[in-house]
Amino acid sequence: MNGSVGIVKTEYAEFDVELQLESGRLLGPVTLAYETYGTLNAERSNAILVTHAWTGDAHAAGRYHEDDRKSGWWDDMIGPGKVLDTERYFVVCSNVIGSCKGSTGPTSINPRTDKPYNLAFPVVMVRDMVRAQKLLVDRLGLPSLLTVIGGSMGAMQALEWGILYPEMVRSIIPIAGTGRTSPMSISLNAVARQAIFNDPMWKKGNYRPEHPPADGLALARAVGHISFLSDASMHLKFGRRFSARDGMFDFFGQFEVERYLEYNGASFVERFDTNAFLYLAKALDLYDAAWNFDGLEDALDHLRCPSLWFAFTSDWLYPPQQTEQVTEILARLGKSVAYHLIDSDYGHDSFLVEPEKFTPFIVAFLDRLG
């Protein structure tokens, strides 16, 4: 019977360094929130790094206490007998810099002012997130990573790990990712940004935490959430059902899908910081694996390890052809690459909603690595 990792605790690693960012700016000191599951073997060769998506965090599995009703965001994947079997693997998940979930970000105290960074926080790229994670991996004494696995923004981090640290990474598993963010994805984030900027409570990033630009952030989240779904999944979940509490001809009456977006946005405001949302959106927009290389092919030629890629038929945020562009280049370069297009109606969120459709490929892939 597949089980839970049980009660877990988020740890915090502090680094008295100045991390040089891709922008040229320095960030330091740096704190990374992280969790670990399973046991590192004597050879220190069974470590797996899990990388999270846009508004994710380090809490990938388990629960914080016995009465905790919400388990980690990838609890279905991590644990004894599960895909990332904690009886075989030592699993690490860290929160990215730029976030508000324990790692250094715009809500952190700026040591130069003793006040929160807010918009004084430097722009970070996915590559910067990975360089910060490398500090943690070294601190944990991990000479290599069996694999780096993640979905969406996590897929971008996995690819960056393979490119930046080919001597350490023995494989990567990017899921529902892309080699560079498309104009359409950037435009959706632009609309989300404007929703926040137009909220008078935003105050150019200098809002009080107890009075955030709630309306703007909720609307921004709704824009993002729509892109995570698909037409088919909306039909399955909501159809054209009108809210039972509203009259159809009430001017402000809502369809069920509208109420869902409203509820999702309101709950998001309670758990995520607005400026952190903006910084991470900027990192997504800037993502291009070819950055500072002589094109995408040059960047991908640095990858030395086997890679296993997944895309989903109904994903219109990072559609299959974007993954295929990368895998085709890797194949042309003679790299060890495998790709699976998974049939799913759940859009970009397919990797969270229907993991059973692709996890057997992951298990087989990891088994072959030894």
Q: Which domains does the chain show, CATH number per domain?
A: 11-179+288-368 (3.40.50.1820), 186-281 (1.10.1740.110)
**pLDDT tens track for 61-99:** 999 999 998 999 999 999 999 999 999 999 999 999 999
Dihedral Cα 31, 158, 51, 86, nearest 10 deg: -110
Give me Rg for the CA atoms of the chain. Answer: 20
**pLDDT tens track for 272-308:** 999 999 999 999 999 999 999 999 999 999 999 999 9
50 pLDDT more than 70: yes
Assess contact for 37 and 81: CB atoms under 8 A: no
Q: Name the active-site residue from 4, 315, 344, 350.
A: 315
Q: Name the active-site residue from 99, 152, 314, 350.
A: 152
Q: Taking the CA atoms of 345, 349, 353 and 355 in sequence, report the sign of the dihedral they define.
A: positive
- Residue 360, token pair as written in the block: 């057997």
* CA angle (47, 51, 53) in 5-degree steps: 165
Q: At what angle do helices 183-197 and 214-228 cross, to 10 degrees?
A: 160
Assess contact for 275 and 107: CB atoms under 8 A: yes
Map tokens 């299959």 to a residue.
320
Q: Which pLDDT score is estimated for 212? A: 97
The answer to pTM > 0.75 is yes
Dihedral Cα 60, 66, 68, 71, nearest 10 deg: 20
Q: Which pLDDT score is estimated for 213? A: 98
Mean pLDDT of 208-228: 96
Known binding residue 139? Answer is: no
Q: At what angle do helices 153-164 and 126-139 cross, to 10 degrees?
A: 70
Whether 348 is a known active-site residue: answer yes
Whether 199 is a known active-site residue: answer no
Average pLDDT, the chain: 96
Mean pLDDT of 200-205: 98
Assess contact for 94 and 34: CB atoms under 8 A: yes
Q: Which pLDDT score is estimated for 248? A: 79
**Percentage with pLDDT > 70 across the chain:** 100
Q: Looking at this protein, which amino acid is placed at residue 13?
A: A
Whether 187 is a known active-site residue: answer no
Residue 253 confidence class, pLDDT cut points 50, 70, 90: confident
Residue 230 confidence class, pLDDT cut points 50, 70, 90: very high
Q: Name the active-site residue from 103, 108, 288, 348.
A: 348
1 pLDDT more than 60: no
- Residue 30, token pair as written in the block: 């740096």
Assess contact for 54 and 99: CB atoms under 8 A: no
Q: Looking at this protein, which amino acid is placed at residue 231?
A: D
**pLDDT tens track for 177-194:** 999 999 999 999 999 999
Assess contact for 110 and 116: CB atoms under 8 A: yes
Question: What is the rounded distance in angstroms from the CA atom of residue 63 to the CA atom of residue 369?
Answer: 30
250 pLDDT more than 90: no
Q: Looking at this protein, which amino acid is placed at residue 333?
A: L
**pLDDT tens track for 307-345:** 999 999 999 999 999 999 999 999 999 999 999 999 999
90-94 vs 30-37, strand pairing mode: antiparallel
Known binding residue 221? Answer is: yes
